Structure 1
Amino acid sequence: MYVRYLAARPVDEIQCVAQTRRRHRCTSPVLAPETRGGQWTLLPVTAHVGQLALPAGSMAVYSLTALPYAEQLRWRSQRCPQHAATPTAADLAMTDWESFDSLLHSGHIHTRLPTLRRRGARADHPHREGRA
């Protein structure tokens, strides 16, 4: 969808916003083990027209562009695979996304790709920006 977002937490901790049958928030992650995730990549730092150029040339982004469109929509709506398949389930929380602004969120710009731990997909990286 070619829009950059800033998440409130690391990619592997983003939680589904759907309401369960017991009227609680779903505890499943959006990055589900049974689905294909995005990939970390370096992309140019973009500034809005009329803004000064930023010192960093590129930044690490969790890109979803290689995923099917339906999967990108699932991420954008912040739903786990189960609740993406049940569109009648209400959202119990607002999505944690915020439009990424390179000047406002410059503290989240990292110029190196994150390193991964041995046994999981958790990134040791404070960068929480994604692109859907």
Structure 2
Amino acid sequence: MLLHTRYLAGRPVDTIQCVAQIRRRHRCTRPVLSPSAPPGTWTLVPATTGRRQLTLPEGLMAVYGLTHLTYAEQLRWRHQRCPHHAAAPGAADLALAEWEPFDPLLHHQHVHTRLPTTIRNHRRRRV
């Protein structure tokens, strides 16, 4: 959840890639979730639709919340930029942000009733 709206990402939170263009029309390879930026928090919230406030049978759903972060940090996530490119407003976007407004009735297969318990392993790149 960011900017008080629930969005569905096209991939797991830790693999969302920056959309900014770097040299020679290549896409930035940095993730939006960066060790140098404050992280979001996983919480359980009521699984309701935004329109009619219907509660789904599951009751609660796990959400990666960013609403406790500053407005600027939430905008960085919404624009799907790494911290480096968030500070460079002149950089063009090479791809569209992958966010889609979340509707629990349409996206019910993505409703998870438990918080994540494992941390994914990441390959570290050498610089």
State the TM-score, normalizing by the size of structure 2.
0.88
Amino acid at match of 2:8: L
> Which one of the candidate residues 21, 24, 27 is aligned to 1:25?
27
Q: Which runs of 5+ in 2 are unaligned?
A: 123-127
1:66-93 deviations in Å (ceiling 9; x for gaps): 1111100000000000100001000000
Amino acid at match of 2:76: R
What is the match of residue 115 of structure 1?
A: 117
- In structure 2, what is the Cα distance between the partners aligned to 1:43 and 1:56? 11
What is the match of residue 124 of structure 1?
A: none
Residue 67 (1) aligns with residue 69 (2): yes
What is the match of residue 91 of structure 2?
A: 89
Report SS of the residue matched to 1:45.
strand
RMSD: 1.7
What is the match of residue 40 of structure 1?
A: 42
- In structure 2, what is the Cα distance between the partners aligned to 1:16 and 1:104? 26
Give yes or no for contact 2:13–2:33 (8 Å, CA) kept in 1. yes
Q: How many residues align?
A: 120
Report SS of the residue matched to 1:58.
strand
Amino acid at match of 2:111: I
Report SS of the residue matched to 1:22.
helix
| Alpha-carbon distance change, 28 to 4 in structure 1, aligned in 2, over 3 angstroms | same
Report SS of the residue matched to 1:31.
coil
- In structure 1, what is the Cα distance between the partners aligned to 2:120 and 2:101? 31
State the TM-score, normalizing by the size of structure 1.
0.85
Q: Which runs of 5+ in 1 are unaligned?
A: 121-132
- In structure 2, what is the Cα distance between the partners aligned to 1:91 and 1:70? 18
- In structure 1, what is the Cα distance between the partners aligned to 2:119 and 2:57? 29
Amino acid at match of 1:36: P
